[in-house]
Amino acid sequence: MIKTNKTKPRVFSGVQPSGNLHLGNYLGAIRQFVELQEDHECIYCIVDMHAITVPQDPKALREHVLDLASLYMAVGIDPRKSIIFVQSDVPGHAELNWILTCNSYTGELSRMTQFKSKSHGKESSPTGLFCYPVLMAADILLYDTDIVPVGNDQKQHIELCRDIATRVNNTIKETFVVPEGRFMKAGARIMALDDPTQKMSKSATNIHSTISLLDQPNKIKKSIMKATTDSDGEIRFDVENKPGVSNLMTIYSVLSGESMADIETSYRGKGYGDFKKDLVGVVQESLAPIQARYEEIRHSEQLIRDLKDGAERAGAIAEVVMKRVKDTFGLGLGM
């Protein structure tokens, strides 16, 4: 057993600062972050080094980091309960990334579906995109993490992280805590409003495909009213045959707390128009308080102070783990 000084199970997760968060990010991942902070030691990271696996405008990247930090806090992550920090502010991420790169295989990385879809049709892709899951494993293992709350789409990356950790533990020396993924059931995968066979994504080109947490009431209304459904007119949860309606019902259910059965009963005999109109209200009411808090936080000096403090607290944990890792591999002078 590795000796750690944790008093509660430790949670780590990260989100890329690549544009505003959407409902998929919120319902699939970040909502869990808020719940977990009550009885876990939580570390939430803004993964700017992952963001540069695709080209970024440097000025915009810095702004996006602050946007995301403010959104983290606006949805209810409390910097006094949890650690919130920017990945590149703690050098251990890059250091451990290299060590894990030397302990992972091109074969296993080639099987990652995210890499396959992001590099699809291109003759060559940035090496960073290929190694993206190794950096993610470094993020997690750097903090002796027990639990990683993420959306369903990250399952394969979590498995890879566990494989790398177990391999080092078994073949070299017991060094890493092997983490567990925590995936939300309802809402773990929110689909694009214009194409319910694709996940809702920040990189979508059609603005009505996603709902950003900062969307204005009019935009929310337009996107939902335009959402793809089907022609049978019945409000029934059936992901296979009615993916569009089922996706809208998931959003309704998770935000309102009503069960699918209750929703089906209330809308029996009514049309999609009525249901969509009510969903617009549910989404607008859920996002309004988040947006109001966001405005208060985004340009406050406290935001920067909280992020600096978060990096210091994260760095202190990372330093202890990095010393253990360097000892395992015989790196440095062992001081």
Q: Which residues bind ligand LTN (CB under 6 A)?
A: 12-16, 47, 50, 136, 139-140, 148, 150, 154, 157
Binds ligand ATP (CB under 6 A): choice among 201, 256, 291, 328:
201
Phi, psi of 143 (to 5 degrees): -120, 20
DSSP H helices, the chain, are: 23-25, 31-36, 48-51, 58-74, 92-101, 106-110, 113-119, 127-141, 155-171, 217-226, 243-256, 260-266, 272-298, 301-329
From the centroid of its chain, how far is CA 151?
6
Question: What whole-number distance in Å separates Cα of residue 70 and Cα of residue 150?
Answer: 19
Partner interacting with residue 12 (select from ligand LTN, ligand ATP, none; CB below 5-8 Å by kind): ligand LTN
* DSSP calls for 77-140: --TTTSEEEEGGGSTHHHHHHHHHHTTS-HHHHHT-HHHHHHHTT-S---HHHHHHHHHHHHHH
Binds ligand ATP (CB under 6 A): choice among 62, 167, 202, 298:
202
Residue 22 beta carbon to ligand ATP: minimum distance, rounded to whole angstroms: 6
Binds ligand ATP (CB under 6 A): choice among 95, 153, 163, 278:
153
Structure tokens at 189: 């995968």
Annotated active-site residue 219? The verdict is: no
Residue 40 beta carbon to ligand LTN: minimum distance, rounded to whole angstroms: 14
Question: What whole-number distance in Å separates Cα of residue 74 and Cα of residue 217?
Answer: 18
Residue 145 beta carbon to ligand LTN: minimum distance, rounded to whole angstroms: 8
Residue 8 beta carbon to ligand ATP: minimum distance, rounded to whole angstroms: 22
Partner interacting with residue 235 (select from ligand ATP, ligand LTN, none; CB below 5-8 Å by kind): none
Selected catalytic residue, list 6, 81, 155, 202: 202
Annotated active-site residue 118? The verdict is: yes
Annotated active-site residue 8? The verdict is: no
Residue 189 found at the interface with ligand ATP (CB under 6 A) = yes
Residue 29 found at the interface with ligand ATP (CB under 6 A) = yes
Question: What whole-number distance in Å separates Cα of residue 93 and Cα of residue 37?
Answer: 23
Query: Quick one: which segment of 16-24, 227-235, 271-279, 286-294 binds ligand ATP (CB under 6 A)?
Result: 16-24
Q: Name the residues annotated as catalytic.
A: 118, 199, 202
